[in-house]
A and B are shown apart, each in its own frame.
Chain A
Amino acid sequence: MKGIVFTEFMELVESKFGEDTMEDMLEAADLSSDGSYTSVGTYDHNELVKMVEELSKITKVDVPDLIKAFGNHLGVVFYTKFTTFFEQADGTLEFLKSIDDHIHVEVAKLYPDAELPVFAYKEHEDGSFHLFYSSTRGFSDLAHGLIEATSGYYKESFSIEREDSIEGSTHKTHFVLTPS
């Protein structure tokens, strides 16, 4: 997984829970990289999983909530760093539709070794929007947080329901967004 995800995670942990919590987390996680990340590097995504688990133990916040919060944070980072992608779309749904065949495509060009999830979508006549996440890494919560951050950018609000499943090593999540 790309370094930017790790450095941003560290930023978040340090600013939200303080330096000491971060050091505790790192000590407990006992990572092969020692937690020394740079945004231009590439690291094992399991290190992120490990850190989140330790952080959860220390802070007593559930893992999914932590990851979702991280998704929120990452969304803000994305729209400050990659503003044009957001400007190209008129709203949350249009933006989400463009992840799979535009945004992540460009991301893959920029970082050839990036591991990206697959997204599909469907619009129902009743006005609901269905987004299907699938990835071997299982970061549905991150996606959830990113979706919330996106609707925040466009100042739109949705009720988000989700259903998780696992097929073999593939994690799948069916998000349903309904305007509220």
Chain B
Amino acid sequence: MSEERLRKRVQREKKARMEAEKILEDKSRELYERNTQLKELSENLEKQVVQRTQDLKVAHDKALSAVKAKSEFIANMSHEIRTPLNGVLGMLTMTLDTQLTEKQKKWIGNAFNSGQHLLSVVNDILDFSKIEAGKMVIQMEATDVISLTRGTVSGLRSIAKEKGIELACQFPKQFPSYIDADPLRFRQILTNLISNALKFTSEGSVNVSIKQTQERYTLKVEDAGIGMSEKQIGRIFNAFGQADGSITRQFGGTGLGLTITQYFIDMMGGNITVSSEKGRGSCFIVELPLVEQDALSKEQQLRAVSADGRFESAEVLLVEDLIVNQEIAEYLLNRANLKVDIANNGKEAIEAIEKKDYSVVLMDLQMPVLGGIEATEIIRKKYSKEKLPIIAMTAHATKEHKDEVLSKGMNDHVSKPIETSELYRALAAFLTFEQDKELKDKNKEPATEKQQVPTSDTQNYAGLDIVQGLARVSGKTGFYCRLLRSFHDSYQKYSANLKRHLSAQEWDESIAVLHALRGSSLNISANELAEHTSTFERTLRDASYDNVLELESKLFKLGEQVESSLLEYLAQHQ
């Protein structure tokens, strides 16, 4: 090759190299700039994420406190509504007992029915907020379901008659008079199902039937109403979920009834099923387990029977500052053959007690001059619980409130507005029914005997407050065992789900499981577990995830403890 060509070639190579170097330099500068941009972008993004998270947390906190404020508002409002409504209803009851023309009787009767309806709506809302807050407690006792069902059905007859619908009942001949249930809640279940059936039926009949096998009580409520599609059936047990929105407009109602109904049935260890055909009608079936009837004490049977009875004459002191309430209570007490003295506040009560021996004191809590709790504390310095029973009348029907009242020396409590049967039942613990007198004289059992919880029972079960748990179900060991068993079943499920959700960092799902677990723990009085669960839940809701592992391991430790305690308890009580 000629020198000239070689030179050219070298030049060409040099040019190519320099060009390549320039391209590379340009590219690396570009790369550097892009990198810087990217870095800025990602830093910005991080800042934005932090800002947004903070905004979200603020919004979340605001929402939470708004919800809390609303719940409190609802609780207060329901209370505010219930008190005057109680006055109205009481006055109407009294008026109905006076000489009235047919017309007046009808009008007052209608007013009374409307008032009762309003009360039931307010109660639904209160019940629901209690269930939501995990504060609902049911009181199991021997309950005469037949007469309760009869009574409820006949109470609803007038509605059926007005609509021109037949309300038919079928009861078996040999039905045990008592099953283990919370009578108040049992009636709520019945009323809910039957009045729903009536509400949605415009012609034809509603059939209520009761069947009973060895261990099951079955209630069937069938209607010939508008019926539901499968999709609608799926929704009706959800809160606020009637079959669809137009139903609410056409038929009214809170949409809470079935949610509450289902909750009560769950709590009583039963279940509810629905079948329905659109345009044909619906059929609700409730199954409740039966328990050994021998376990019922005579006293409980008496109490259940005589809800409307008369007592042997006795003197009762009524301590209450509101005239309306005084009159209602006095009327109810007089009707039950009791003599009543009235004190307007705690101070007057203490003075009255000094002058006369009362069989029972009925004590309001919030009063001017001296409140009920303060008065009781003073009275207890001189008179023991056995010597002078005091029954509190509490407007705040929460469990905490009632527990507090009991711890301050009261013997029992009834909630206001006063329910006739609840009042008589409470009084029955300290007074004697007229027709029971002979019976009682013969077998000298003390009237207040309840199923006692053996003290040895209470010590060895770490994580379980057996005393409280049994108290919640009126000392029914069998029922408590059932609750424990159902806790045991669901705990397996909960713990598996919780582990899964936590490890996948699915916080919402974890919160839901924790919430449910807390409810179940409260039901059996696994208080430490309940408390820790709620702490855990709160922590997750606050979106602080630093201590999740610690909280988780503590939770399962407590859970295992409860599990082993309850298994031991079950082993000893079956």
Taking a contact as CB atoms under 8 Å apart, the answer to whether A40 and B23 are in contact is yes
Residue numbers of A with Cβ under 8 A of B are: 19-20, 23, 34-41
Taking a contact as CB atoms under 8 Å apart, the answer to whether A40 and B12 are in contact is no
Instruction: Say whether, besides A23-B8, A23-B9, A38 and B1 are in contact (CB < 8 Å).
Output: no
Instruction: Say whether, besides A19-B1, A20-B1, A38 and B8 are in contact (CB < 8 Å).
Output: no
Partner of B5 from the list A23, A39, A40 (CB cut-off 8 Å) is: A23
Query: 29 A-B residue contacts at CB 8 Å?
Result: A19-B5, A19-B9, A20-B1, A20-B5, A23-B5, A23-B8, A34-B12, A34-B15, A35-B12, A36-B11, A36-B12, A36-B13, A36-B15, A36-B16, A36-B19, A37-B16, A38-B16, A38-B17, A38-B19, A38-B20, A38-B23, A39-B20, A40-B20, A40-B23, A40-B24, A40-B27, A41-B19, A41-B20, A41-B23
With A35-B12, A38-B23, A40-B23 already in contact, 17 other A-B pairs whose C-beta atoms are closer than 8 Å: A19-B1, A20-B1, A20-B5, A23-B1, A36-B12, A36-B13, A36-B15, A36-B16, A36-B19, A37-B16, A38-B16, A38-B17, A38-B20, A40-B24, A40-B27, A41-B19, A41-B23
Interchain CA distance A35-B13 in the complex, whole Å: 9
Interchain CA distance A155-B413 in the complex, whole Å: 97
Q: What B residues does A19 contact at CB under 8 A?
A: 1, 5, 9
* Chain B, range 1-46, C-beta contacts under 8 Å to A: 1, 5, 8-9, 11-13, 15-17, 19-20, 23-24, 27
Q: What A residues does B5 contact at CB under 8 A?
A: 19-20, 23
Q: What B residues does A36 contact at CB under 8 A?
A: 11-13, 15-16, 19
Q: Give chain B nearest CB distance to A179 CB in angstroms.
A: 43
Q: What A residues does B27 contact at CB under 8 A?
A: 40
Chain B window 537-549, contacts with chain A (Cβ cutoff 8 Å), 1 for yes, 0 for no: 0000000000000
Q: What B residues does A39 contact at CB under 8 A?
A: 20
Name the residue of chain B whose CB is nearest to the CB of A42: B23
Q: What A residues does B24 contact at CB under 8 A?
A: 40
Interchain CA distance A23-B8 in the complex, whole Å: 9
Q: What A residues does B19 contact at CB under 8 A?
A: 36, 38, 41
Interchain CA distance A152-B510 in the complex, whole Å: 60
Interchain CA distance A34-B7 in the complex, whole Å: 13
Interchain CA distance A79-B16 in the complex, whole Å: 25
Among B1, B16, B17, the one with the most A-chain Cβ atoms within 10 Å of its Cβ is B16
Name the residue of chain B whose CB is nearest to the CB of A22: B9
Q: What A residues does B17 contact at CB under 8 A?
A: 38
Q: What B residues does A40 contact at CB under 8 A?
A: 20, 23-24, 27
Interchain CA distance A34-B9 in the complex, whole Å: 10
Residue numbers of B with Cβ under 8 A of A are: 1, 5, 8-9, 11-13, 15-17, 19-20, 23-24, 27
Interchain CA distance A56-B304 in the complex, whole Å: 117
Q: What B residues does A23 contact at CB under 8 A?
A: 1, 5, 8-9
Name the residue of chain A whose CB is nearest to the CB of B15: A36
Q: Give chain B nearest CB distance to A113 CB in angstroms.
A: 12
Q: What B residues does A38 contact at CB under 8 A?
A: 16-17, 19-20, 23
Q: What B residues does A35 contact at CB under 8 A?
A: 12
Q: Give chain B nearest CB distance to A32 CB in angstroms.
A: 12
Name the residue of chain A whose CB is nearest to the CB of B12: A36
Interchain CA distance A41-B15 in the complex, whole Å: 12
Q: What A residues does B20 contact at CB under 8 A?
A: 38-41
Q: Give chain B nearest CB distance to A156 CB in angstroms.
A: 38
Instruction: List the 7 closest A-B pairs by CB distance, nearest first.
Output: A38-B20, A36-B15, A36-B12, A36-B16, A38-B16, A40-B23, A23-B5
Among B11, B23, B27, the one with the most A-chain Cβ atoms within 10 Å of its Cβ is B23
Q: What B residues does A20 contact at CB under 8 A?
A: 1, 5
Q: What A residues does B23 contact at CB under 8 A?
A: 38, 40-41
Interchain CA distance A7-B566 in the complex, whole Å: 83
Q: Give chain B nearest CB distance to A45 CB in angstroms.
A: 18
Name the residue of chain A whose CB is nearest to the CB of B4: A23
Name the residue of chain B whose CB is nearest to the CB of A24: B5
Interchain CA distance A38-B16 in the complex, whole Å: 6
Q: Give chain B nearest CB distance to A54 CB in angstroms.
A: 16
Among A19, A36, A37, A40, the one with the most B-chain Cβ atoms within 10 Å of its Cβ is A36
Q: What A residues does B11 contact at CB under 8 A?
A: 36
Q: Give chain A nearest CB distance to B16 CB in angstroms.
A: 4
Q: Give chain A nearest CB distance to B1 CB in angstroms.
A: 6
Q: Give chain B nearest CB distance to A4 CB in angstroms.
A: 12
Q: Give chain B nearest CB distance to A74 CB in angstroms.
A: 19
Name the residue of chain B whose CB is nearest to the CB of A19: B1
Name the residue of chain A whose CB is nearest to the CB of B5: A23
Name the residue of chain A whose CB is nearest to the CB of B1: A19
Q: Give chain A nearest CB distance to B274 CB in angstroms.
A: 55
Q: Give chain A nearest CB distance to B33 CB in angstroms.
A: 16
Q: Give chain B nearest CB distance to A174 CB in angstroms.
A: 38
Name the residue of chain B whose CB is nearest to the CB of A20: B1
Interchain CA distance A6-B334 in the complex, whole Å: 116
Q: Give chain A nearest CB distance to B13 CB in angstroms.
A: 7
Interchain CA distance A23-B19 in the complex, whole Å: 20
Q: Give chain A nearest CB distance to B10 CB in angstroms.
A: 11
Interchain CA distance A36-B27 in the complex, whole Å: 20
Interchain CA distance A37-B5 in the complex, whole Å: 17
Name the residue of chain B whose CB is nearest to the CB of A34: B12
Q: What A residues does B8 contact at CB under 8 A?
A: 23
Interchain CA distance A142-B13 in the complex, whole Å: 26
Interchain CA distance A123-B19 in the complex, whole Å: 45
Name the residue of chain A whose CB is nearest to the CB of B23: A40
Q: Give chain A nearest CB distance to B25 CB in angstroms.
A: 11
Interchain CA distance A25-B15 in the complex, whole Å: 19
Interchain CA distance A67-B479 in the complex, whole Å: 94
Q: Give chain A nearest CB distance to B295 CB in angstroms.
A: 77
Interchain CA distance A23-B13 in the complex, whole Å: 13
Interchain CA distance A29-B9 in the complex, whole Å: 15
